[in-house]
Structure 1
């Protein structure tokens, strides 16, 4: 049960956005820029969603990890196996480029503490083909998702158990981005 009264039928961060539209607007713009807009990063939207998924999973935020995993699946052409590896924290076994593995390793360090990222981590990512901008984006996505995860879990929002709900959210967000209203989930 949420710690504060939230609108019924909206899971996770969506209930918080409905509760406080004034804070929802800039947060939606941030996540739209970080994850969905195609001209803001050389990482694909699917790759950026994987960073959000991985960070959220490391933070044990069920709603965010499952939602962004579903979005990544749609962004990556239905690659559920890859997303499942990320959700199970099996990055090394995942069918990912060395660059993405290095960026996910940096995201994992950011999830613990920004100060855990070392010059060796950055050098490794660059040797694997990551640009300065891609390293920047991975760090920013991981840092932002630590905030989002703590927002969602800090107010004990509702996270559905039905995988079909996440698939529906994933399909909608992959197609429309983050600036559209969420649909209502009928029951919990």
Structure 2
């Protein structure tokens, strides 16, 4: 049960965003920019980073949502995403994405400068400055969003099918459209 009164029946962050369109609009604009806008990583790769960060932060709503969004946009679909959430070291990833997932894992930990070895391994695997930057930005944004969703005790969807329908909507219309 949410810790605040929510005057709509949307689960997870959707209820919070609809409740507060003043801040919800800003968060959705940020999500569109980070996850759908032009960046060095594909939208599927960015959604995978968001899903992985959310899983590590034990935020089921965000992990479920962004897993579905990543699966719909990545070759390998649900099986790939689940493999990454379980063990990214054995998941069928390119060395570059595996190294970027390691960066996301380190970003999710208590705040510290990323280890030189983590960055060197990403560069060795083919990641450039833009990809390293964008990975840190997406993972850190999801640490904030995960806390927003989890700390207020938002509800989970009643059906797992919710996530697949949300994936169709987000991929087709974007995040900002979900407030209307």
Normalized against structure 1, the TM-score is what? 0.91
Q: Find the aligned partners of 1:95 and 1:175 in 2 and give their Cα distance.
A: 27
Q: Deviation of residue 165 (structure 1)?
A: 0.7
Aligned residue number for residue 129 of structure 1: 126
Q: Which consecutive residues of structure 2, in runs of 5 or more, have no partner in the other structure?
A: none
Length-normalised TM-score, structure 2: 0.95
Deviating above 2 A after TM superposition, structure 1's stretches of 4 or more consecutive aligned residues are none
Q: In structure 1, how many angstroms separate the alpha carbons of the residues matched to 2:77 and 2:13?
A: 25
Aligned counterpart for 2:69 among listed residues 56, 68, 71:
71
Distance 1:77 1:130 in 2: 20
User: What residue in structure 1 maps to residue 105 of structure 2?
Assistant: 108
Q: Which runs of 5+ in 1 are unaligned?
A: 184-188
Q: Does 2:180 align with 1:171? A: no
Measure the CA separation in 1 of the matches of 2:144 and 2:30. Answer: 12
- Could you tell me which of 11, 21, 45 is aligned with 1:47? 45
Over aligned residue pairs, what C-alpha RMSD do you find?
1.5
**Which digits, 9 at most, give the CA deviation of each residue in 1:29-79, with x for residues without a partner?**
111111112x2x121000000000000000000000000000011111561
CA distance in 1, matches of 2:76, 2:117: 34
- Give a deviation string over 1:110-155, Cα, whole Å, max 9, x none: 1003315111111110110001010001001111000000000110
